[in-house]
Amino acid sequence: MNVKYDFSDKTAVVTGAASGIGEGIALAFAESGASVAILDINMEKGQETAAACEKLGVKAKAFLADITSEESLQSAREGVLETFGTVDFLISHAGVAKVPGLKTNPFTPPIKNLPLEHWEILMDYNLFGAVRVTNAFLDILKDKKDGKVVYTASVAGLKAGSKKPHYHAAKSALINFAKSVAQECGPFNVNVNVVNPGWVYTPIYENLIDVVKNPAWGDAYKDCKTSQEALDVMAKSLGTFLQRSQSVESTAQAYLWLCSDGARELTGQTINVDSGWIV
């Protein structure tokens, strides 16, 4: 990527930054000179991300933070303030597309077959997780009347999806929640926006090859051997205008831009970084 930002006097907090898109976001901020706080439940990988950021010449540290626990986020907040002194960019990115611990979403429509417990877990991670992250950090940005918040939802939040209705509903709720935060933050000069990634190959898709072999997915995937290939077929066959899936790096660019002065008049908005699917 050759777009340059100078965030050398800024500190970014990124949840879910140990892996996947979140790791890419952390590295993109580090490349732009920002100090980076990596908040994740996976400390081993979080520390690897922090080390990779430090190699780019910035201050970075991993903090144990579970978005399903207010106490855990409170303790991460204390660690972040002790280490960095402030927060300028709050990237609430951690979320899950399936119940943690399950290999796939073991669900066949109709919707009544989906256990209520699975609904509760996906709402807890994808909506309440973002609410908890917001509650833990937003006052820092509001107090200094300066800052940016970016939530990661998903294109799933704008579309129906009978295979994962709980995920679609949770991300949809998150998109709306972000608008309320944007309204509250307007008088405090804090911009609040949402990025909807589309089809980005990360560990979230590592079992996709098993999923698409289910006859319910039809013949389109019969020649696929890896999950990465299956994701490319999926992005094309779903009709993305650019006929491709997205990379972690290209997706991370949207977060940088939303935190830059170039996006200073954007708030309460949702950007689909999906190669032209939601159009």
Q: What is the largest CA-CA distance in the chain?
A: 55
- For residue 108, the SS3 value is coil
Query: Cβ closer to ligand NAD: 136 or 204?
Result: 204
Restricting to residues 14-53, which ones interact with ligand NAD according to CB under 6 A? 15-16, 18-22, 40-42
Query: Cβ closer to ligand NAD: 38 or 140?
Result: 38
> Got the DSSP string for 35-75?
EEEEEES-HHHHHHHHHHHHHTTS-EEEEE--TT-HHHHHH
CA distances from 142 to 36, 91, 96 (A): 19, 15, 28
Rg (CA), the chain: 18
Phi-psi category of residue 276: left, alpha or beta, with phi > 0 → left and psi -120 to 50 → alpha? left
Restricting to residues 180-199, which ones interact with ligand NAD according to CB under 6 A? 197, 199
Span interacting with ligand NAD, options 12-20, 77-85, 181-189, 258-266, rule CB under 6 A: 12-20
Restricting to residues 148-167, which ones interact with ligand NAD according to CB under 6 A? 152, 154
Question: If 0-12 CB within 10 Å is exposed, 13-18 middle and 19+ buried, where does residue 218 land?
Answer: exposed
Asked if residue 65 binds ligand NAD (CB under 6 A), the reply is yes
At its nearest, how many Å lie between ligand NAD and the CB of residue 111? 20
At its nearest, how many Å lie between ligand NAD and the CB of residue 185? 21
Candidate residues 43, 56, 81, 97; the one interacting with ligand NAD per rule CB under 6 A: 97
Asked if residue 77 binds ligand NAD (CB under 6 A), the reply is no
Instruction: List contacts with ligand NAD (CB under 6 A).
Output: 15-16, 18-22, 40-42, 65-68, 93-97, 152, 154, 197, 199-200, 202-204
